[in-house]
Homo-oligomer: A and B are copies of this chain.
């Protein structure tokens, strides 16, 4: 199993996830500007998820680029990540349609956490399947502040959404996105060397 085909399959699935999300934004019935108002939370919800999934794509690419050997473990850790990502459109639609109501934001936060954990499992699978790979050992193995920060922020955003204020959780999601916006410089540097 070459990594190029795993990349191609992941790219396909992520491209579809990113694009079908917008299908949930139905054209409003009627033609006044008033009627577009309820679209605003849907639009924000869509924008947030588009950004989030795009970030997964960028970082996934960097991560997989370091691999020299695809084991069945890596393959299934990758499919596991794609599975949780594929649920993002439903969670996004639920949150957007209900104007960031607290139950829906809590569900969204749980899903974000599951995706982040799945990403970490993929990292672990890559490390244990590429033990002789210098770049993997140096760059992928040590859990950085990004990985730890994301898991902590997502974990925290669950009770925050439920007990305090879902809007704060929204800003926590955004914070995680900003952490990952710039693709991992360590990987880029290691690959260039």
- Provide the bound-state CA to CA distance between A188 and B36, in Å: 42
Q: Which residue of B lies closest to A16 (CB)?
A: B19
Which residue from B18, B89, B183 sits with its C-beta under 8 Å from A72? B183
Which residue from B11, B25, B89, B94 sits with its C-beta under 8 Å from A12? B11
Q: Which chain A residues have a beta carbon within 8 Å of chain B's beta carbons? A: 1, 5, 7-9, 11-20, 22-29, 31-33, 36, 47, 50, 54, 57-58, 61-62, 72, 75-76, 79, 82-83, 86-87, 89-91, 93-94, 97-98, 101-104, 107, 181-183, 188
Q: Which residue of B lies closest to A75 (CB)?
A: B58
Give the residues in chain B near A1, CB-CB below 8 Å: 58, 61-62, 183, 188
Indicate the member of A15, A89, A93 with the most B CB atoms within 10 Å: A15
Please state the number of chain copies in the assembly: 4
Which residue from B7, B19, B24, B76 sits with its C-beta under 8 Å from A17? B19
Q: Which residue of B lies closest to A54 (CB)?
A: B79
B83 touches A50 (CB 8 A): yes
- Provide the bound-state CA to CA distance between A7 and B6, in Å: 12
Which residue from B8, B13, B24, B79 sits with its C-beta under 8 Å from A19? B13
Q: Which residue of B lies closest to A21 (CB)?
A: B86
A90 touches B26 (CB 8 A): yes
Give the residues in chain B near A15, CB-CB below 8 Å: 9, 12-13, 16
Give the residues in chain B near A22, CB-CB below 8 Å: 86-87, 89-90
A101 to chain B, nearest CB (A): 4
A182 touches B72 (CB 8 A): yes
Give the residues in chain B near A32, CB-CB below 8 Å: 103
Further pairs besides A8-B11, A58-B79: 11, Cβ < 8 Å: A12-B15, A12-B16, A18-B82, A20-B20, A20-B23, A27-B97, A31-B104, A54-B83, A72-B181, A72-B182, A76-B181
